[in-house]
Homo-oligomer: A and B are copies of this chain.
Amino acid sequence: MSQFMKYAIQLAKMVDGQTGVNPPVGSVVVKDGRIVGIGAHLQKGDKHAEVQALDMAGTQAKEATIYITLEPCSHYGSTPPCVNKIIDAQISKVIYATKDQSLKTHGDDILHAHGIEVDYQYDEEAASLCQHFFKAKAQQIPEITVKVAASLDGKQANDNGQSQWITNKEVKQDVYQLRHKHDAVLTGRGTLELDNPQYTTRFADGKNPIKIILSRSGDLDFRQQLFQDTSTAIWIYTENPNLTTDQENIDITYLQQCHLTTILQDIYQKGVGKLLVEAGPHTTSEFLQSDYIDEFILYFAPKLIGGAGTYQYYQTDDVFNIPESNQFEIVHSELINQNIKLILRKK
């Protein structure tokens, strides 16, 4: 792969987690072996990566080559078509690394018609940055990561609900990174009551995610720590029509039935492209059983909690035969100072 496409991918990775329902994309404009423009899509509604890079390049873009991690668009969305901008800038060659599966029409022919060479060089890394975006856009729900921290015997807490601290400091840092890379964190009422969590990203210039609370009963205590932080939006989904608050950063959505699909579609409509689920056994098991999850991140601490297993992170009403049990693929495993991190995908 060209060094310049590598740079474009690096740019895309820098903005991964801050582009909401849009994919992270990077772009580099190169003329006579020198970079004359760089760009990345910073957030939905903002300029696309290639437009930024072309703006930076200015007149230098003439007869230059542009590298883009994703195929340039040829339609009017929240911004005008990028192919027009490329044509106007008099670019001589376009190289991109991922086909945009979410598009009905492609711009290669338009570019060709204007004498611009187009080279599609598939790159797996570039594609992986976009693949969940394609899926999310097709289903109109966010990309979903479920995170669980548990003991080796599969418990999130002892039978009294005590869970602090099962995993170590280094895992907490890893979780802060996870939060930073997601637009929103979703949890259930039970976890709120038990753990009194903050769901913040505690590192310098980290982005705090929107907090989403699933509470069918609406039995919430607004005096809790999480509600004291008024700088981040809090969205509550409930089946309780009487739940109200004056607090400005809290948005309550009443649903007759809190179905996951309904909630996820609503969250996506509101601009959440990547959702992190950090919840107790009930909500966690609901997500892990659904077909919506893209990634399951499991941290194991090398301890056994025992008891009766009230807080086993995975519990189901139905009993399944072993061959029909919920099957995953391990895509990554590592030791984080005596804790184990597994990244899994549904099979």
Contact = CB atoms under 8 A, between A and B. Distances in A.
Nearest to A327: B303
Given A154-B152, A335-B333, A308 B302 contact: no
A304 B314 contact: yes
Interface string A220-237: 000000000000000000
B321 A158 contact: yes
Contact of A316 (B298, B306, B315, B326): B306
B302 A309 contact: no
Contacts of A155: 154
Interface residues of A, number: 49
B322 A315 contact: no
A155 B304 CA distance: 13
A304 to B, nearest CB: 4
Contact of A288 (B166, B304, B307, B315): B304
Number of chain copies forming the complex:
2
Contact of A319 (B159, B289, B338, B340): B159
A325 B154 contact: no
Contacts of A307: 315-316, 318-320
A169 B291 CA distance: 28
Residue with the greatest number of chain B CB neighbours at <10 A, chosen from A157, A288, A302, A329 = A302
B285 A325 contact: no
B328 A303 contact: yes
Contacts of A308: 315
A153 B321 contact: no
Q: Can you list the 9 inter-chain pairs with the closest CB atoms, starting with the nearest?
A: A154-B154, A306-B316, A153-B314, A304-B326, A302-B328, A153-B154, A159-B319, A309-B309, A307-B319
